[in-house]
Amino acid sequence: MEKFLKSKSANYVLPIAATVVLLVLWELVVRLFKIPEFVLPAPSAILAAWSAWSGVVIQNSWVTLSNTLMGFAIALVTGLLLGFLIGYSKVAYTTLYPLLVGFNTIPKVALVPLLAIWFGIGTIPAVLTAFLLAFFTIAVNVALGLATVELEMQDVLKALGATKVEIFQKVGFPHSLPYLFASLKIAISQAFIGSVISETVASNKGLGYLIVSASSTFDIPLAFLCLIVLAIMGMVLYGICVAVEQRTVHWVR
Amino acid sequence: MLDSQLAPTGQAADQRMPILEFQEVSLEYEMHGRRMTILDRISFAVGRSQFVSLVGPSGCGKTTLLRMVSGLLPVEKGTVYFQGQPIRGPLKSVGIAFQNPVLLPWRNTLQNVLLPLEVVQPHKRQFQEKRDRYTKAAQDLLRTVGLANFQKHYPWQLSGGMRQRASLCRALIHQPEVLLLDEPFGALDAFTREEMWEMLQALWQQTKCTAMLVTHDLREALFLSDVIYVLSPRPSNIALELKVNLPRPRTLEMCFTDEFHHLFTELRKHIHRN
């Protein structure tokens, strides 16, 4: 038993077993206590919803996925540039950092109605909300990566007469990579939250919209199905970011 | 190699001219509103291919002198000359190794050693073209320090002593004329440190560079140096210039001779705390 717990397969077997146990318990509780479907649908009912609605769900999942990825991509570029700027320039840091913190504390869901007024409903507010939620994490982490370069590491290059650009290329940039990749797995989840929030408020497409519309017609199994798809999508996106991180910054110990 | 380009007047004259010269170098700075003098008109000269050590109590400004040679710290009072020219910034003919080996963790050993060639001219310009030759030079250096089989290892896979050896190779790859060593073995255990002395001596004899070592370890200074300068407590000046005339290459057995012990006692007598 102890040997199994230390083995690699335990990492897969244990969470899958827990999920199965949870689903079985869930099914039993719903059946034993005769809980109505519009309060809590049993896993079997959710499965039935999948066979009825799979086409619609898949179609809307693509919308959510593309909104998330577009928002994430814009957040990545903006976050990198901002991070380099405030990480390298003391003036930019002093000027921009308080503004960024202030902006970041605004609950982004409050911005969605405004975005909908400016850009109409649909893709644009979803992408923008995803971007707005995600870029701050990336910017702050990249800046931190640049700011924490050991002085001696820079001295090695300075003593060779390296220019500022060279010091950035050889030390600053690679040093900030682990910070960047650590932030990506958080940022992708934030982008995901952003696009779903926006879809629930200002869209007629996407999983967020589908949940709202299913709830309003009391099709609770469909709403639950969407939630489960969201959970799986979120985990896959997170997993991809972790895999990329482990491959690119394997030298971090 | 560079000597011939810089001194067409002949090897003999060049040999006699000091490669480094400190002239009335002082350093003062303000701390808690009080003016502190760290270095007080320090003057000494270092001959070409000499091994010189600076010893003294902590805070006496040994490292500061080294940083002035490297160009990392501007000389405000007095002058430091390199081959007759005042030092005003980093020099490409200087290599430096710190107590912390500061290898770049995202580069393997070989790539770390090659780093200076990617930055220092004319190597930077020729790097792509001469890559194979440079790689071979780096491999030769790594072989001298016993790291031939660790070229592809990353810093986290190396022991402290191995990292320091790689760091020395990096300091020497661009064939600097001056090698600056700031307590390079300070963080290593006693036995590893003694191994490093022998290795450093071999590297120094092979490259014929001028070496300037800052250390707290008097045996280390004696083992490696031709001349040792003892700095007094702040405001520091040179308390003693000690010539070490032990034959080369020196061996660890020499550390147990009467002559070595006599020099050690002489050195110790002149070190006073702040």
Task: Find chain B residues with C-beta within 8 A of A150's C-beta.
Answer: 100, 102
Contact B104 A170 (CB under 8 A): yes
Biggest CA pair distance of chain B: 56
Nearest residue of B to residue A163, measured between CA atoms: B119
Q: How far is A160 from chain B (nearest CA, A)?
A: 6
Q: Which domains does chain B have, with CATH numbers?
A: 2-93+176-269 (3.40.50.300)
Provide, as residue numbers in chain B, all residues whose Cβ is less than 8 Å from the Cβ of A252.
105
Sequence-distant (6+) residues with CB within 8 A of B170 are A156, B95, B97, B103, B112, B113, B115, B116
* Nearest CA among A233, A231, A196 for reference residue A67: A196
CB pairs under 8 A between A and B: 60
DSSP A221-239: HHHHHHHHHHHHHHHHHHH
- β-partners of residue A250 are none
Q: What share of chain B is helix, strand, coil (3-state, %, to 5)?
A: 40, 25, 35
Give just the sign of the alpha carbon dihedral A24, A26, A30, A32: positive
d(CA B212, CA B53): 6
Given a contact cutoff of 8 angstroms between Cβ atoms, the answer to whether A206 and A63 are in contact is yes
Q: Which of residues 167-206 of A touch B (CB under 8 A)?
A: 170-171, 174-175, 177
Residue of chain B nearest A164, judged by CA positions: B119
Task: Report residue A22 as tokens.
Answer: 């949870």
| Phi and psi torsions of A65, nearest 5° | -60, -45
Rounded to the nearest angstrom, the minimum Cα separation between A253 and chain B is 7
Residues of B in contact with A248 (CB under 8 A): none
Please state, in angstroms and rounded to a whole number, the distance separating the CA atoms of residues B195 and B199. 6
Per the CB < 8 Å rule, is B96 touching A155?
yes
Nearest to B145 by CA among B108, B200, B66: B200
pLDDT confidence of residue B15: 59
pLDDT of residue B14: 57
The two structure tokens encoding residue A187: 């940022």
**Quick one: pLDDT at residue B33?**
81
Q: What is the pLDDT tens value at each position of chain B, 274 positions in all?
A: 334 334 334 444 455 688 989 888 888 888 788 888 888 888 888 998 999 999 988 878 888 899 899 888 888 888 888 988 888 888 888 899 988 889 999 999 999 999 998 888 877 777 777 888 888 888 888 888 888 899 899 999 998 889 988 998 999 888 889 999 999 898 888 888 898 899 899 889 888 899 999 999 999 999 999 999 998 888 888 888 888 888 888 988 888 999 999 999 988 988 876 6
Asked if A161 and B102 come within 8 Å (Cβ–Cβ), the reply is no
Q: Give B255's DSSP letter.
A: G
| Residues contacting B219, CB < 8 A, separation 6+ | B255, B264
> Would you put residue B41 in left (φ > 0), alpha (ψ -120 to 50) or beta?
left
CB A159 within 8 A of CB A239: no
Tell me the nearest-neighbour CA distance from A176 into chain B, angstroms: 11
The residue in chain A having the minimum alpha-carbon distance to the alpha carbon of residue B72 is A159
Task: Give A-chain residues touching B174 at CB under 8 angstroms.
Answer: 160
| Residue environment code for A160-177, b if the CB has 16+ CB neighbours within 10 A, otherwise e | bbbeeebbbebbbbbbbb
- The whole-number mean pLDDT for each consecutive block of 10 residues of chain A, a chain of 253 residues, reads 80 91 95 91 93 93 96 96 90 91 89 92 92 94 90 88 88 92 93 94 91 92 94 93 88 79
Alpha carbon distance B171, A89 (integer Å) = 30
Provide the pLDDT for residue B71: 86
CB B60 within 8 A of CB B43: no
Instruction: Tell whether A220 is within 8 A of chain B (Cβ).
Output: no
In chain A, residues with a C-beta closer than 8 Å to the C-beta of B72 are 155, 158-159
Task: Say how far apart CA B165 and CA B200 lie, in whole Å.
Answer: 9
- B123 Cβ partners below 8 Å, 6+ apart? B116, B117, B130, B134, B174
The two structure tokens encoding residue A218: 């009391």
- When CB atoms are compared, the residue of A153, A160, A249 closest to B116 is A160
CA dist B165 and B113 (Å) reads: 10
* Tens of pLDDT, residues A35-44: 998 899 999 9
Query: Which structure tokens are listed for A148?
Result: 């924490």
**Quick one: how many helices (H) and strands (E) in chain B?**
10, 10
- Asked if B19 and B46 touch (Cβ cutoff 8 Å), the reply is yes
* Chain A residues in contact with B94 (beta carbon < 8 A): 159
- Quick check: B71 and A159 CB within 8 A? yes
Rounded to 5°, the CA angle A226-A227-A231 comes to 115
The strand pairing partners of B28, in sequence order, are B37
Helices (H) and strands (E) counted in chain A, each on its own, are: 11, 0
Residue to substitute from A149, A154, A156, A249, interface B, most B β-carbons within 10 A: A156
**Using the beta-carbon criterion (under 8 Å), do B71 and A171 form an inter-chain contact?**
no
Contacts of B96 in chain A (CB under 8 A): 155-156, 159
According to DSSP, residue B53 is labeled E
List the B34-46 sheet strands across, edge first. B34-46, B20-31, B77-82, B85-86
Cα(A111)–Cα(A109) distance, integer angstroms: 5
B247 phi and psi, to 5 degrees?
A: -65, 155
Q: How far is B143 from chain A (nearest CA, A)?
A: 23
pLDDT given for residue A125 in this prediction: 94
In A, minimum Cα distance to B71 occurs at A159
Tell me which chain A residues have a C-beta less than 8 angstroms from the C-beta of B125.
none
Q: What pLDDT was estimated at residue B112?
A: 93
Polymer length in residues for chain A: 253
Residue B190 makes CB contacts below 8 A (sequence gap 6+) with none
Distance CA B168, CA B184 (A): 9
Domains of chain A plus CATH, in order, are 55-248 (1.10.3720.10)
Contact criterion met (CB < 8 Å) for A160 and B120: yes
* Distance separating alpha carbons of residues B103 and A227, to the nearest angstrom: 48
Which residues does chain A have within 8 Å of residue B90's beta carbon, measured at their own beta carbons? 158-161
